[in-house]
Each structure stands twice: as C-alpha cells, then as structure tokens.
C-alpha cells in the first residue's frame, strides 16, 4: 500500500482548496489584472494604495484584506467576486483533478471546497465542468462580511467540518499554500500539500508543512484503488 493510498483510506471527508488543486483560476484572466482593477477602484474612491508591497502585488486577496473601511470593503468584495466569476468560466482544470475527485466520491467519501475565493465563482466553475453534483452544496468560500476570515484563518474549514458532520481529524485538507496549511493546522485538520511544480515544494516544506506532492497523478492513482467505505 502506498503512503498516499494509506492516507486517503483513513479519510472521511476531503477538503480541497479551489485555486490550485482543482483548477488554475486565473489562467485566462490574470490575477494581476484583477489586483490592478482593485487598486484603481480604491484610487477612484479617494483611497489610493500607498503601501509599497500592495502597489506591486498581484494577489487580489492581499489587497482586499488590507481595506479596513467597511463601505470600501463591500465594494471591493463585489468587484473581486465578479472578477473571480469571470475567471472561473475560463479557468484551466488541474490535470487529473477531476479523476481524483470522482474516485474519492466513488469510494463513499465526502468532498468539499474550502477556499478564499467567492462561493459563486466556485459554483460557476463546477457547473462549467459538470462537477456540481459531486460537491452538492459543500462549497465553503470567502466570507463576504469579513476579509479577515480568509485563510490562514480556519473559518472556511471549520464551517465545512461542521456542515459535513465529521471529526476534524477524519478530514484531509489538500492545498498549495502556506495559508492553506496554517488554516488546516488551526482547525486540527490533517494537511497534504499539492503543488504544480517542484519549485513550489520548498515553499511548503521550508515552512515545515509536510508531506507535499507535485501534481495530481499520484493522488489520482491512489484514489482509484480505494475500498468503498462501509457507510459509503
């Protein structure tokens, strides 16, 4: 039995980050363009970005998190949600993610999305790729009211665990970032890093989050051999 097969065998619910393990969300609509639009929105509303890091940031979530004015934050949230929905419709699926997810579900295990992206964007992608039936309503995305609850805060994982009705220790979070790993640790959920390239492995292992796999091929192979859970 491979390590991954053994790891998955003990799982009752799989919690997947969206952008990375499931798809490349901004492959057709670059995140940097979205970040630039958000900075322009702030400038138009008399709050230009002055922080050196945010001026060059290509991470829309980083910019959203930095806004403390509630009215501006609400407008930025709407802008980002619309951008993510647009990106989701042209996003590139992660190779073999579909096969992996369906194999896990076929074995009687639940799957859920736990993400910093808007739930409506995830829903748009799942509909586009005939995966909505697999996840049903188990999409736990960004809180529209409080950007501070985005990962590394464990909020979306805690909501998922409660909704599915399983112990946190019986879940497995698969993500590609340190924020994913920190959120999983805070929620007492075991974590597996899954990155697109070997270059990204060091980022997680350097932060003492192990194990890490590159791509979905080994995971898909391990999931294909899973026995069906007795209550599955």
- Across the chain, mean pLDDT equals 94
Q: What is the pLDDT of residues 213-222, one digit of tens each?
A: 999 999 999 9
Q: Residue 231: pLDDT above 80?
A: no
Q: Answer for the pair 13, 169: CB distance below 8 angstroms, yes or no.
A: no
Residues 48, 42: Cα–Cα separation, whole Å: 5
**Residue 172: pLDDT over 70:** yes
pLDDT tens, residue by residue, 122-155: 999 999 999 999 999 999 999 888 999 999 999 9
pTM above 0.75, yes or no: yes
> Does the structure show a pLDDT above 70 at 22?
yes
- Residue-wise pLDDT tens digits, 60-110: 999 999 998 999 999 999 999 999 999 999 999 999 999 999 999 999 999
Cα separation, 219 vs 4, in Å, equals 7
Kindly provide the b/e burial profile for residues 159-185, where b requires at least 16 CB atoms within 10 angstroms of the residue's own CB.
Answer: bbbeebebebeebbbbbbbbbbbbbbb
């Amino acid at each position: 039995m491979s390590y991954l097969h053994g790891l998955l065998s003990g799982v009752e619910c799989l919690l997947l980050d969206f952008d990375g393990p499931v798809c490349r969300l901004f492959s057709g609509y670059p995140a940097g363009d979205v970040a630039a639009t958000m900075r322009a929105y702030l400038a138009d509303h008399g709050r230009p970005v002055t922080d050196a890091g945010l001026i060059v940031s290509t991470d829309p979530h980083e910019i959203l998190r930095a806004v403390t004015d509630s009215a501006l934050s609400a407008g930025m949230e709407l802008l980002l949600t619309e951008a993510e929905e647009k990106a989701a419709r042209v996003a590139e699926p992660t190779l073999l993610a579909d096969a992996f997810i369906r194999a896990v579900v076929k074995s009687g295990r639940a799957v859920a999305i736990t993400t910093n992206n808007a739930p409506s964007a995830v829903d748009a992608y799942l509909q586009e790729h005939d995966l909505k039936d697999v996840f049903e309503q188990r999409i736990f995305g960004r809180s529209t009211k409080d950007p501070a609850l985005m990962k590394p805060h464990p909020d979306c994982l805690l909501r998922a665990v409660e909704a599915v009705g399983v112990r946190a220790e019986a879940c497995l979070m698969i993500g590609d970032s340190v924020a994913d790993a920190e959120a999983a640790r805070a929620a007492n959920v075991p974590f597996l890093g899954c990155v697109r390239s070997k270059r990204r492995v060091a980022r997680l292992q350097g932060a003492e989050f192990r194990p890490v796999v590159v791509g979905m091929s080994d995971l898909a192979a391990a999931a294909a051999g899973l026995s069906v859970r007795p209550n599955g």
